[in-house]
Amino acid sequence: MKRHLYNADHDEFRSIVREFVDREVVENIERWEDERLIDRDVWLAAGKQGLLGLGAPVEYGGAGQFRDYRFRNVVLEELARVHATSLSSSFSLQDDIAIPYIASIGSDEQKQRWLPPMIAGETIGAIAMTEPGTGSDLRGIRTSGTRVDGGWVVNGAKTFITNGIHADLVIAVVRTDPDGGSRGFSLMVIERGMTGFSRGRKLKKVGLHGQDTAELVFEDVFVPDENVLGDIGGGFGQLVHHLPLERLSIAAHAVAAASSVLTSTVQYTDSRTAFGQPVADFQNTRFQLADVVTEIDVTRAFVDAAILAWNADELTVVDAAKAKMWASEMQNRVVDRCLQLHGGYGYMIEYPVGRAYQDARIQRIFGGTNEIMRQIIGQDLFGRR
């Protein structure tokens, strides 16, 4: 079935992205995974090539394509093509979370201060929601902000923070009113070098080894009023408003990654022989891969529709939850079946499917666990918020 998602502009952009990936990414993937950290140089190279800030306003150096996620999807597909999952995750945090928050709710002064260097890859962003003991329960956040003259004093700790080691600015969710309920949270931008802001451990993860994930600690950090993002007390609503884009990003990555694993598995089974014939010639192999390619194609159709809905400003919270939940579950099923078709070699990290197996597992957790996605979908069925 022919795919009708892209036009000539996206095809031209793909050639630019592919050239960048082949030049700047491919030869570094193994080293990044071994060192468990991605060089900042690739961020600068991506910024110079125009691959960051695709949705940011043109007046700040962005591409102004906030309502055309197809350009971001091209980047996801091209990074997935070479199995650069850690880099893809890091770029997604910047382009699908950090930059959109600042671009949509930041003041003109904040946009001018932060967006140009983020788009250039000079400034790396992060968002700090999760805390030890809270997980998906954002209402359990305990990081506190106390009002003082000219700003706020922030105390607390965050964990599982993507880009946590490299981050130059962190959009932190802070409880500013202990009795405010859902109106008791605010977003504050905490910058590298602020007194009392420190990094804890660089966390060792099951997968995404090249992408830095860290604990962050705030000890009497003074955050000036000009670093408050949006309205005081509006943090929870701002988080909910931005989650559909984050979940669309996860879903789109899931489809791209599963497709790439399928491609490498088809190549492997066609070249690998067992009992005197290619593994691809066994009926079980063909049946398994027939199921896999059908699952990917059907999921891609839904995610493509979600991308177009986002472009039309019509993607609902529920449909974003469906896309994230289903696509990430599909990705994990596909990778598991493809690994099995590799036999023992599939368990070796030098084979793409082995690393894909590790990297895929987090997709069912971050952006809201799939249990939370099912809760959102289930509540909608009964007309409850």
Side chain identity, residue 63: A
Q: 305 and 217, same structural domain? A: no
Residue 136: per-residue pLDDT: 66
Q: 138 and 92, same structural domain? A: no
Record the pTM: 0.95
CATH code for the domain of 142? 2.40.110.10
Q: 170 and 97, same structural domain? A: no
Across the range 79-100, mean pLDDT stands at: 97
The answer to whether position 327 is within a domain reads: yes
Across the range 271-287, mean pLDDT stands at: 95
Report the percent of the chain where pLDDT is more than 70: 99
CA 173 to chain centre: 18
Least confident of 54-63, 128-137, 155-164, 344-353: 128-137
Q: 196 and 112, same structural domain? A: no
Domain enclosing residue 94, as ranges:
8-123
Confidence band for 385, pLDDT divided at 50, 70 and 90: low
CATH code for the domain of 310? 1.20.140.10
Q: 73 and 46, same structural domain? A: yes
Q: 365 and 272, same structural domain? A: yes
Across the range 361-382, mean pLDDT stands at: 95
- What is the per-residue pLDDT across 292-315, written as a single tens digit (0 to 9) for each? 999 999 999 999 999 999 999 999
Is the pLDDT at 268 greater than 70, yes or no? yes
Domain boundary, last residue among 91, 123, 155: 123
If residue 330 lies in a helix (H) or strand (E), which one and from where to where? helix 317-341
Q: Which residues of 106-141 are buried (b: 16+ CB within 10 A; e: fewer)?
A: beeebbebbbbbbbbbebbbbbbbbbeebeeebeeb
Q: 52 and 16, same structural domain? A: yes
To the nearest 10°, report the CA torsion of 58, 162, 46, 190.
50
Is the pLDDT at 187 greater than 80, yes or no? yes
Q: 223 and 177, same structural domain? A: yes
The catalytic residue among 246, 295, 314, 371 is: 246
Confidence band for 76, pLDDT divided at 50, 70 and 90: very high
Q: 264 and 214, same structural domain? A: no
Q: 271 and 248, same structural domain? A: yes
Q: 217 and 99, same structural domain? A: no
Annotation marks residue 246 as catalytic: yes
- What is the per-residue pLDDT across 201-239, written as a single tens digit (0 to 9) for each? 889 999 999 999 999 999 999 999 999 999 999 998 999
Q: 130 and 119, same structural domain? A: no
Distance CA 41, CA 43 (A): 5
Domain boundary, last residue among 123, 158, 175: 123
Report the percent of the chain where pLDDT is more than 90: 93
The two structure tokens encoding residue 36: 């468990």
Is the pLDDT at 36 greater than 90, yes or no? yes
Domain boundary, last residue among 207, 233, 259: 233
